[in-house]
Structure 1
Amino acid sequence: MIKKEFFTLSGAKGRGMLMDLTYDENFKDAPLVIFVHGFKGFKDWGTHNLVANYFAQNGYRFLKFNFSHNGTTPDNPIDFTDLIAFSDNTFSIELDDLNTVIDFAINGSAIPRANGVYLIGHSMGGGISIVKTAEDKRIKKLVTMGSTSSFHNLWPKEAEKQWKLQGIMYMLNSRTNQQMPLKAGLLYDLDKHPERLDILKKAAEITQPWIIIHGDADNTVSPTHAKQLHTAQPHAELLLIKGGDHTFGGTHPYAKNTLPADLQKFCNAAIKFLNK
């Protein structure tokens, strides 16, 4: 039987991070996958729970979490109610959050101890996962899903000068119609840590097994990003899913109880890779 357990960790600046662990109760010490969501994402977006269930049915524990500054709160896990936190987010904060989650998985205080973890990172979370995998040998394998190859690609380059002058920029969330504020601290974080936050540089340093999966019809993060990542790390596997978009057919909300066809292809490819 598939079970789900919930936890709250203290993330960056003491903000709570809600997380859940999905597993088959017959395999409580199964290998652990940590899912890293993307920009304007959250752990319960659209199809993420179906993916968690699918991995559990195939012999994995699946841990997903909300970054401390993604704009949700433990009380409102699917709404962007904390735009102050969202505006204060940086890539270094997300790397710290991910480290906290891995520590939680490895120390075995609340869940059966993992000897190592597998990461699946989507979109911006893919970039975070690449940097973290290059730095942390506790990560045994990496799967990236529509990953960006540069954090600078998340906004128009020409906007950066004005952004720094004004100290803040607003990005429209087309799903909620919210104007999402981002302080210039996000840019200054990139300026302060140019080598650590260079995704392609970190990609070249990865020694763990890695599969790069991207939809060839991704209009949000072009498949060019996947090819750049593969060029940087040719030992990684590259899989382009024909007709796949940025979420492989997932939407939010998602009313069906079966995976979209392209997302099923993603899951099968990822599980096959992790099973090797």
Structure 2
Amino acid sequence: MILTEQYTIPGAKGRPITADLTYDDISPKAPLVIFAHGIRGFKDWGAHHLVARRFAENGFRFLKFNFSHNGTTPDHLTEFADLIAFGDNTFSIELDDLKNVIDFACSGSAIPAADGVCLIGHSMGGGISIVKTAEDSRIKKLVTMAAISSFYNLWPKQAEEQWRLQGVMYMKNARTGQDMPYCVTMLEDLEKNPARLDIPRKAAEITQPWLIIHGDKDTSVPLAHGRELQQAQPRAEFVVINNADHVFNATHPYLANTLTLQLEQCANTAIAFFAGKTS
């Protein structure tokens, strides 16, 4: 039977990380996969629950979580109800959060301890995952989905001067219509940590097996980002999903009971990679 359990993990600046673990009760100590969502994303977006189930059905535990400053709250898991926290988010905060989640997975304090983890990162979460994989040997394999190749690509360069002057920049969330605040501390984080937050540089340092997955119809993070990542780390495998957009043709809310063809291909490719069934 496939089960899902809910957890709260301490996050950055005292904020909680909400998480859930999907697994087959026949194999409670199965290999563990951690999923890191992207900017303006959350663990319960779209078809993430179906992806989690697909992994559980194929012999993995699947732990997905909300970064502590992603704007959701424990009472509003699918809404950006805390825009103050969202605005205060930085890349270093997300790296701290991911470390806490890996600590949780490996400690055995609440779930059977994992002897290392596999990591999946989507979009900005892919960039975070690249940096963390270069830093943490507990990560045994990495899959990035539609990952960015530079944190600077998350906003227009010409907006930075005004951003510094005003201290905050707003970008419209096309799905919700909300004006999402980004405090200048996000930009300052990049400038204070240029080596650590240089994604191609960190990509070049990765020694673990790594699979780069990207859709050829991605207009949010174009396919060129995936090619830049593979250029930085030529040992990485690279798979292009045909006719796939940035979210592999899923939507939020996602009302179907089956994955899109593109997301199914993405999930199955990642499962085979983690299981050692690809080169």
Please give the TM-score of this superposition, normalised by the length of structure 1: 1.00
CA distance in 1, matches of 2:219, 2:47: 19
Shift of 1:168: 0.3
Number of the residue aligned with 1:92: 92
* Other structure's SS at 1:118 match: strand
Shift of 1:10: 1.4
Shift of 1:275: 0.7
Number of the residue aligned with 1:117: 117
| Structural mapping, 1:1-276, within 5 Å | 1-276=1-276
Shift of 1:242: 1.1
Note the alpha carbon deviations across 1:162-216, whole angstroms, 9 max, x for none: 1011100001001000000010000000000000000000000000000000001
CA distance in 2, matches of 1:273, 1:17: 28
Shift of 1:249: 1.1
Q: Which AA in structure 2 matches 1:262?
A: Q
Note the alpha carbon deviations across 1:200-245, whole angstroms, 9 max, x for none: 0000000000000000110000000000000000000000111111
Q: Which AA in structure 2 matches 1:265?
A: Q
Between the two proteins, the alignment pairs up a number of residues equal to 276
CA distance in 2, matches of 1:260, 1:18: 26
CA distance in 1, matches of 2:142, 2:52: 16
* Other structure's SS at 1:214 match: strand
Shift of 1:75: 1.1
* Other structure's SS at 1:159 match: helix
CA distance in 2, matches of 1:200, 1:174: 29
Shift of 1:145: 0.1
Q: Which AA in structure 1 matches 2:76?
A: N
CA distance in 2, matches of 1:60, 1:152: 34
* Other structure's SS at 2:52 match: helix
CA distance in 2, matches of 1:242, 1:20: 30
Q: Which AA in structure 1 matches 2:172?
A: L
4+ residue runs over 6 A deviation: none
- Please give the root-mean-square deviation of Cα atoms over the aligned residues, in Å: 0.4
Shift of 1:143: 0.1
Please give the TM-score of this superposition, normalised by the length of structure 2: 0.98
CA distance in 2, matches of 1:259, 1:3: 19
CA distance in 2, matches of 1:176, 1:154: 18
* Other structure's SS at 2:225 match: helix
* Other structure's SS at 1:158 match: helix
CA distance in 2, matches of 1:274, 1:17: 25
CA distance in 2, matches of 1:216, 1:207: 26
* Other structure's SS at 1:240 match: strand
Q: Which AA in structure 1 matches 2:20?
A: D
* Other structure's SS at 1:253 match: coil
Q: Which AA in structure 2 matches 1:141?
A: K
* Other structure's SS at 1:112 match: coil
CA distance in 1, matches of 2:50, 2:237: 25
CA distance in 1, matches of 2:36, 2:30: 19
CA distance in 2, matches of 1:73, 1:242: 35
Shift of 1:9: 1.1
Q: Which AA in structure 2 matches 1:249?
A: N
